[in-house]
Structure 1
Amino acid sequence: MWPFVGRVRELEDVMSALTSGNGAALVGPAGVGKTRLTDEVVARLEQTRLAVQRCYATVATSAIPFGAMAAMLPADMRTANPLGRAVEHLLAEQQPLVIVVDDAHLLDDASIALLHHLIRHGHARGLVTSRPGERTELWQEGLLRRYPLGDLSRAESDLLLEHALGEPIDTWSAALLWSASAGNPLYLKELVVSGREMGTLRSDDGIWSWHGAIEFGGRLGELVQSNLGRLQPSHRHALELLACSEPVELDLLASLVREEVLDDLETRGLIRVAPSERRTVVRLGHPLYGSLLRATCPTLRARTHHRALATALEATGARRREDLMRIATWRLDGGSPTPVNLLAAAAEQAWAAQDVTLAERLCRAAVEAGGLSQVGHVFGQVLMHGHAPSQAETTLADVMTGPLSPEDLGRLAATRSMNLHFGLGDADAATALLDAVDVPGLSADVHDWLQVVRVILEAQHGHVATVLERTYHPVAPHLSVHMRRTRALCLLHAGRYREVAQEITAYEALEDPAEPDDGALRMRCFALAFAGHLAEAEALALTMYDRPFDDLAFTGATSLYSVLSFCARMRGNGSQALRLAREGSPKSAERPLIFDAIALANLACAAAICGDTALAQHALARAEKARRPAWRLTGITVSVTRSWVLASTGDVHTAANAAMAAADECAELGAHGSEAMALHDAARYGVDTSLRLTALTATMDDPMTKAYAAHATALAHAAPTALETTATDFQRLGATLYAAEALAAATRLHRTRGNARAASQASARQALLMRDFDGVHTPALRAGDLAHLTRRQSEVAHLATSGLTNQQIAERLHTSKRTVDNHLHAIYGTLGVTGRAELRTVLGLP
């Protein structure tokens, strides 16, 4: 039996109806979880003084008097008054009676009459499950309270999956399963069972993920086929057409299918007709219907369906923006000749819609048809974002050897230079290419675009302030949005988070609202998170997962995992931070892209805070390898992360040096946002960075940077009261990790000064904050267990638990082995331990 999650309110409502009323009716479609909720109710009822009698109505018993209730009635019912005999038998039970009926819509008339009589006259209470619109006598007459039961929400589905699988499932797979099941618990269960049996759902590194397409093996296929029922040829034809095209306009489908067929399918719930903007569209009644119909439709018949759809849509004039994509796709699927210009136009639309899979398919079809020159600029971008920048370079170089106008050559060079820069990390080659095509006489439009591309590339390796100034250079009005987008990125690096939001709002007003800018979404998320608005950042990032799950495959979306992981880390939710970081990190070590270095650095940071030193070091090494000189601004994320990884090994001294080196690197580039983070890390590791952080608050007026500066100042002045105030500031922002660290430091200082009461109060606040922490290990928190040790003893203790010998510790701290021996002897005596194993236990290390 699957675990029972969610439905808390429904469970309490039903129990209330049974204990203080006549009972309840759970009404909902098949598979929605009526029986599972009933099981939970019955389990609770059996703990009370109520006697429970349960029966199951079926199609087979629906034609037999008292068929469903036969098991609870006497064997001999031959009497002139069988209803009275049944009532008399049931009332022989001394305890209050509850009759539970599954699938009450299949009850025979005699059973309905018996149940009706018992409940109306107060002889029993009832709990029934039923499909909507059938056998409604029991609740329409007010005998039972009716409780509609709907499908699971996304959050409930995710929770059920995690409980059922015993380990987390990645966000993309959870979205896939929720979308495929449409929140129906029975379908969700069978998808999981089928996926595990076929190996498409499997656990890797403690996280479940789905691989490949949904296959209909075992009970899943039988269940979906059963719900479809027996179909007449005309009905199957209509459903197969819809499976090949959904969602499709009603008028288009009606041109291929008789109206009475559509009416019948809608009445049976096999299709849904609903308005969508200014048109009426048709969808299948459940996503799995489409998956099964496509899987079982013979190849030749499917090709015929696709050709018919393409012809019908072309006959309407293909007026909508997405029509070219549909016609091209249906022509390819139907085996019809498809003009190169149609494939090229459709590929551009697919790329603009961020449907990477379709864009690549259309591009490859165009190339096979000899249209490389027409589709090359799109194909290059598709390949770059598909982690194939070398292939993109080859493709774009081939296109540029053809006979092209200077304008076409310039546009292709712009795309190729971005691939050289962002894909291959070759800034010099990218710049040289732009210089080569920016020739005298070039149209102003293309010349301006080349200037914009130069600024976009420089924003990844130039000084932030210099590039920011260049974004104000005038360009053609329709290109200004690109300049403003780059300006927002520079402001983000500069730590001017409020201006980031203002700039994004300004340039979003210039864009097509029908095509949301995911780059803007990502920048907003990072600006909110880094400024200390964690809840807003999380809420905005999660809107990405409300979109169709295919969008998550788009490369840039992975950076949203970094935002969510950062927020989880700040809240002390280590396991969640690590899970999100794993999901967002590249699985392959082949040819990393610019986003991959950020994702890997984030994974290293999350692993470090969870105490998984091996994973942290491995991820950091991959992140270092993913860095390119062309991506200096991205690379500083790796530099800032290095101190977290070093601190996780217990080498706080080296971690502090790494944090200061990262801060200096950031300052050299004008990346003050990252500089503030690195300086705060150095302060957490014992370096006085209060003056530099305070100076940064002159241009960075966000609450998080101010809290960083206050924390560093309180640590530098060894001021416990100020640390407690800082903890309050961090707590207000949701950064409970830093709040707990500030309180840990305040506790130690109060104890050192003999103020036991203040120490106890600060410690209690820290314990309360850390109540919801999950697997978090930082030097400042571990030092709370070493409150009676000196700073040097604490450092020796951490190094000793990292696996270093006394001689290695001495070399690391530039002291003698004898001194380290003495420190360890004093540590063991103070803490009452006898060796390193017990010391690790005291520190809470695995």
Structure 2
Amino acid sequence: MWPFVGRVRELEDVMSALTSADAKGAALVGPAGVGKTRLADEAVARLEQSGCTVRRCYATVATSSIPFGALAAMLPADMRTANPLGRAVEHLVAEPQPLAIVVDDAHLLDDASIALLHHVIRHGFARVLVTSRPGERAELWQEGLLRRYPLGDLSRAESDLLLERALDGPVDTRSAALLWSGSAGNPLYLRELVVSGRAVGALRVAEGIWSWHGAIELGGRLGELVQENLGRLEPSHRHALELLAYSEPVELDLLASLVQEEALDDLETRSLIRVESSGRRTVVRLGHPLYGSLLRATCPALRAQSHQRALAAGLEATGARRREDLMRIATWRLDGGSPISLDLLAAAAEQAWAARDVTLAERLCRAAVDAGGLVQVGHVFGQVLMYGRAPDQAEATLADVMTGPLSTADLSRLGATRSMNLHFGLGDADAAAAMLDAVDVPDLPEELRDWLKVVRTLEDAQHRHVAEVLESTYQPVAPQLSIHMRRTRALCLLQAGRYREVEVEVAACEALAAGDESPDDYGTMRMRCFALAYSGRLAAAESLALKLHDSLFDDLAFTGTTSVYSVLSFCARMRGHGAQALRLAREGRPNSSVSPLMFDTIGLVGLASAAALCGDGALATEALARAKKSRRPAWRLTGTTVSVARAWVLAGVGDVHAAADAAMAAADECAELGLHSGEAMALHDAARFGVDTSLRLAALTSTMDDPMTSAYAAHATALAHTAPTVLEATATDFLRLGATLYAAEALASAARLHRAQDNPRAASQASARQALLMRDFDGARTPALRVDGLTHLTRRQVEVARLATSGLTNQQIAEKLHTSKRTVDNHLHAIYGVLGVTGRDELRTALGPS
């Protein structure tokens, strides 16, 4: 049996309906596979533990036409009387009391069984719990006999937790998102995906982490379940569903023009399709993602091509007015075997790249190249190859196409793309600048000349002093290009540690993008993630990063996912969740066989830092070496992250003095480039490793007014002044931000200083607060978190202490922990002795916020 996850509120409600004085029972109502039976299992277990007699039966299609067929196992063998209902009730009343009757799939009950349950419920002979599909045989709750509890799919968080518990280990973020997307939160589908994935080797474990490899394939029991839920389909219904399988989400008007209207009505009634609003459109989706997988797998090839040709023709007939329409038409024409023009391929490739659909953009570019259109798609193809980790191939392709007969404008456009590949792909700043100079010739169209300005500024943002580049972002460009300058400005502000201004620029970029009906700008969203994380808004950073990850997880070719993993790993480190940070960093690390890009440096330093936090010196050293090797002169600002991470690695292997020197060197390197965000982190690390950086950090707070940098400065100042009470206050500040790791370090330092100042009671209190925080840590180790002298409460004492400070009485604590009040009294007496306090008020003061 799979673990029981979520549904806590639903279980409590059901138990109340089954056990309260005035209740008669409950009906769990929901579609197939949402976990109605699993929830009923938990309810049955609780009922039996309470001493209740439970009789359980299962309704089936086979018994639905047999009187009392579903309930036969609980009724007497001799029902040949003039009053079978009375005989059945007489037999049930003879059962030991209290009695509960549980019926699975009550929508398949026969009329006689329904009548018997009505009688039992009305006269209170037994409590009744049934599971049922919605909209079928609903008499038991529509007449008020049972309380109805709708049961839906699991949330994303519940799905992830169920996976982790079922597999007895963590699942990588992308695979969890893939399984969530495939199952849509349906527990039965999720279980069958896991079972089939393990059976065929698609779901396997490496380094203690489960991951899914390849696409989701429907087979075995999973395919049977999906087919069973689809049921028997009329030809018109199958036609509509197959069209939708190749197009969802698709506009209702387009689909309605290709199928019978009655078919859509029937399919919506059966919940096989969903009609919903999307902006100003009404779109149609399949009722479940796996329906599409099955329909595409079982659709004959010629019919599939016919469907896609029909979709392309239908969309073209509407005028193809939306920005994504060209991508859809081009894809359907390619898959349908229809002729397609070079102009359409080139325009669709540009749209796909703008939407960051790297896989589709590459496919469209290659189709255009095969048709002799390299010139038309060269500027897109070069970027696709670069982000696809093939910068050498991108350089060769662009160099080749630029040797042909081209207009000045085409040459400049291709030259700009080639310059970006030289800079961001190959890391050659001089060659990139020379390329821009070569194509920046007189008489260029104004918009193209402005584009060259944008590219030059963007490249400078990784190479020159932050303040200089920030100033250049204000140079005037064509209105349609202003969004690019603002993105670069946001990046400079992020580097300068002016996080509030980053938010202003990101919001402005989003407003410009929305006005142009552009796709979500992943670049600005990533900058917002980093700004939120670095300024101390960890929860908001994690939430946005997960949202961004889920929008990118199905396209691994997009290297922006590396940055997303870096944000998530950073937040986990700040919380002291070392194992989680390491898992996330491992997921985001680049493959050692590919050419490193700028993003890869960020991923590798995150891996090095997470491994160092977990005490894995070998992995930390290896990752740092790879990060150092990936540095390029063109990526000076990103390269500083390698220097910052070096301090973490040295501290992780126990060389704290070298770590302090490395942190100071990294701070100086960042300061030289105006990179105050990195400088603040490095100075704080140096303070943690024993260097007095309080004055420099205090100076930074004059321009960096975020709470995290202020906490850094307060921490460094308290350490420099050996002020334990200030350290405790700083710990509270870090806790408010979610930076539990630094809070625990501050408390550890406070405890040591209290002892040195001959204040054992205060030392014990600080040490106990530290111990409470570190109970939630997962493999985190730093030099400041020495275990020697740390006052450890037992796990049960920690539970008692937390409950006591929450306001519960000793009796309430005993009931919650299923123990006696005397035991709680003894635990609190021991806790007071360890901490040197005399009551709950002092305990609350000693432990502080938890």
Do the structures match in fold with TM over 0.5?
yes
With over 3 angstroms needed to count, the CA separation of the structure-2 counterparts of 1:315 and 1:299, relative to structure 1, is same
Matches within 5 A, 1:67-82: 67-82=69-84
2:485 alignment partner AA: M
2:422 alignment partner AA: L
Q: Determine if the alignment matches structure 1 residue 483 to structure 2 residue 485.
A: yes
Q: 2:144 aligns with which of 132, 139, 142?
A: 142
With over 3 angstroms needed to count, the CA separation of the structure-2 counterparts of 1:786 and 1:124, relative to structure 1, is closer
Displacement after TM superposition at 1:184 (Å): 0.9
1:761 alignment partner AA: Q
Q: Determine if the alignment matches structure 1 residue 532 to structure 2 residue 528.
A: no
Displacement after TM superposition at 1:643 (Å): 0.9
* Structure 2 Cα separation of the partners of residues 752 and 275 of structure 1: 66
Displacement after TM superposition at 1:440 (Å): 2.5
Displacement after TM superposition at 1:475 (Å): 2.7
Displacement after TM superposition at 1:728 (Å): 2.1
2:704 alignment partner AA: M
Larger displacement relative to structure 2 (439-448 or 119-128): 439-448
With over 3 angstroms needed to count, the CA separation of the structure-2 counterparts of 1:41 and 1:382, relative to structure 1, is same
* Structure 1 Cα separation of the partners of residues 731 and 280 of structure 2: 53
Matches within 5 A, 1:327-726: 327-513=329-515, 514=517, 515-545=519-549, 547=551, 549-550=553-554, 554-726=558-730
With over 3 angstroms needed to count, the CA separation of the structure-2 counterparts of 1:548 and 1:57, relative to structure 1, is farther
Q: Contact 1:526/1:563 (CA < 8 Å) preserved in 2? A: yes
Q: 2:287 aligns with which of 281, 285, 288?
A: 285
With over 3 angstroms needed to count, the CA separation of the structure-2 counterparts of 1:281 and 1:482, relative to structure 1, is closer
With over 3 angstroms needed to count, the CA separation of the structure-2 counterparts of 1:646 and 1:437, relative to structure 1, is same
Displacement after TM superposition at 1:786 (Å): 8.4
Q: Aligned with 2:205: secondary structure?
A: strand
1:814 maps to what in 2? Answer: none
* Structure 2 Cα separation of the partners of residues 94 and 203 of structure 1: 49
1:8 maps to what in 2? Answer: 8
Larger displacement relative to structure 2 (628-637 or 469-478): 469-478
Deviations 1:180-216 (A, max 9, x none): 1111111111111111111111222222222211112
1:730 maps to what in 2? Answer: 734
Larger displacement relative to structure 2 (440-449 or 124-133): 440-449
* Structure 1 Cα separation of the partners of residues 105 and 739 of structure 2: 50
Deviations 1:109-165 (A, max 9, x none): 111111111111011110000011111111111111000001111111111111111
Q: Contact 1:518/1:557 (CA < 8 Å) preserved in 2? A: no
Q: Contact 1:748/1:784 (CA < 8 Å) preserved in 2? A: no
1:229 maps to what in 2? Answer: 231
* Structure 1 Cα separation of the partners of residues 748 and 177 of structure 2: 40
With over 3 angstroms needed to count, the CA separation of the structure-2 counterparts of 1:745 and 1:73, relative to structure 1, is same
Q: 1:200 aligns with which of 179, 199, 202?
A: 202
2:34 maps to what in 1? Answer: 32
* Structure 1 Cα separation of the partners of residues 277 and 222 of structure 2: 31
1:435 alignment partner AA: D
* Structure 1 Cα separation of the partners of residues 186 and 229 of structure 2: 13
* Structure 1 Cα separation of the partners of residues 240 and 603 of structure 2: 46
Q: 1:220 aligns with which of 219, 222, 245?
A: 222
* Structure 1 Cα separation of the partners of residues 69 and 263 of structure 2: 36
Q: Contact 1:356/1:382 (CA < 8 Å) preserved in 2? A: yes
* Structure 2 Cα separation of the partners of residues 506 and 267 of structure 1: 43
1:19 alignment partner AA: T
2:53 maps to what in 1? Answer: 51
Please report the TM-score for the alignment, with normalisation by the length of structure 2: 0.90
Q: Contact 2:767/2:790 (CA < 8 Å) preserved in 1? A: no
Q: Determine if the alignment matches structure 1 residue 765 to structure 2 residue 769.
A: yes
Displacement after TM superposition at 1:507 (Å): 3.8
Displacement after TM superposition at 1:712 (Å): 1.5
Displacement after TM superposition at 1:536 (Å): 2.6
Displacement after TM superposition at 1:314 (Å): 2.0
* Structure 2 Cα separation of the partners of residues 254 and 690 of structure 1: 68
Q: Aligned with 2:784: secondary structure?
A: helix
Larger displacement relative to structure 2 (105-114 or 749-758): 749-758
* Structure 1 Cα separation of the partners of residues 265 and 711 of structure 2: 63
Q: Determine if the alignment matches structure 1 residue 250 to structure 2 residue 252.
A: yes
Deviations 1:595-640 (A, max 9, x none): 1100110111111111122221221122112111111111111110
Q: Determine if the alignment matches structure 1 residue 751 to structure 2 residue 755.
A: yes
* Structure 2 Cα separation of the partners of residues 316 and 498 of structure 1: 44
Please report the TM-score for the alignment, with normalisation by the length of structure 1: 0.91
* Structure 2 Cα separation of the partners of residues 532 and 276 of structure 1: 34
2:241 maps to what in 1? Answer: 239
2:57 alignment partner AA: C
Q: Determine if the alignment matches structure 1 residue 323 to structure 2 residue 325.
A: yes
With over 3 angstroms needed to count, the CA separation of the structure-2 counterparts of 1:227 and 1:527, relative to structure 1, is same
1:4 alignment partner AA: F
With over 3 angstroms needed to count, the CA separation of the structure-2 counterparts of 1:63 and 1:506, relative to structure 1, is closer
Q: Contact 1:571/1:734 (CA < 8 Å) preserved in 2? A: yes
* Structure 2 Cα separation of the partners of residues 254 and 473 of structure 1: 50
% identity of equivalent residues: 80
Displacement after TM superposition at 1:664 (Å): 1.5
Q: Contact 1:74/1:89 (CA < 8 Å) preserved in 2? A: yes
Q: Aligned with 2:514: secondary structure?
A: coil
* Structure 2 Cα separation of the partners of residues 657 and 145 of structure 1: 68
Over aligned residue pairs, what C-alpha RMSD do you find? 1.7
Displacement after TM superposition at 1:55 (Å): 0.2
Q: Contact 2:106/2:130 (CA < 8 Å) preserved in 1? A: yes
Larger displacement relative to structure 2 (72-81 or 778-787): 778-787
Q: Aligned with 1:779: secondary structure?
A: coil
Larger displacement relative to structure 2 (289-298 or 229-238): 229-238
* Structure 1 Cα separation of the partners of residues 267 and 709 of structure 2: 60
Deviations 1:505-552 (A, max 9, x none): 334333335422221111122112212222232233233245474367
Q: Aligned with 1:511: secondary structure?
A: helix
* Structure 1 Cα separation of the partners of residues 276 and 759 of structure 2: 69
* Structure 2 Cα separation of the partners of residues 566 and 62 of structure 1: 57
Larger displacement relative to structure 2 (699-708 or 153-162): 699-708
Q: Contact 1:139/1:145 (CA < 8 Å) preserved in 2? A: yes
Q: Contact 2:388/2:557 (CA < 8 Å) preserved in 1? A: no
Q: Contact 1:745/1:784 (CA < 8 Å) preserved in 2? A: no
With over 3 angstroms needed to count, the CA separation of the structure-2 counterparts of 1:389 and 1:345, relative to structure 1, is same
* Structure 2 Cα separation of the partners of residues 689 and 250 of structure 1: 63
Deviations 1:413-459 (A, max 9, x none): 11110011101111111111111111223333222221221111111
* Structure 2 Cα separation of the partners of residues 753 and 63 of structure 1: 84
Matches within 5 A, 1:117-156: 117-156=119-158
Displacement after TM superposition at 1:473 (Å): 2.5
* Structure 1 Cα separation of the partners of residues 790 and 158 of structure 2: 42
* Structure 2 Cα separation of the partners of residues 216 and 237 of structure 1: 20
Q: Contact 2:355/2:520 (CA < 8 Å) preserved in 1? A: no
Aligned residues: 787
2:827 maps to what in 1? Answer: none
Q: Contact 1:714/1:722 (CA < 8 Å) preserved in 2? A: yes
Q: Which runs of 5+ in 1 are unaligned?
A: 788-846
Q: Aligned with 2:277: secondary structure?
A: strand
Displacement after TM superposition at 1:785 (Å): 4.4
1:815 maps to what in 2? Answer: none
* Structure 2 Cα separation of the partners of residues 781 and 700 of structure 1: 28
* Structure 1 Cα separation of the partners of residues 283 and 509 of structure 2: 33
* Structure 1 Cα separation of the partners of residues 114 and 426 of structure 2: 73
Q: Which runs of 5+ in 2 are unaligned?
A: 792-850
* Structure 2 Cα separation of the partners of residues 510 and 225 of structure 1: 46
Deviations 1:50-82 (A, max 9, x none): 100000000000111111111111111111111
* Structure 1 Cα separation of the partners of residues 442 and 251 of structure 2: 50
Q: Contact 2:184/2:289 (CA < 8 Å) preserved in 1? A: yes
Q: Contact 1:49/1:95 (CA < 8 Å) preserved in 2? A: no
Q: Contact 1:589/1:622 (CA < 8 Å) preserved in 2? A: no
With over 3 angstroms needed to count, the CA separation of the structure-2 counterparts of 1:135 and 1:289, relative to structure 1, is same
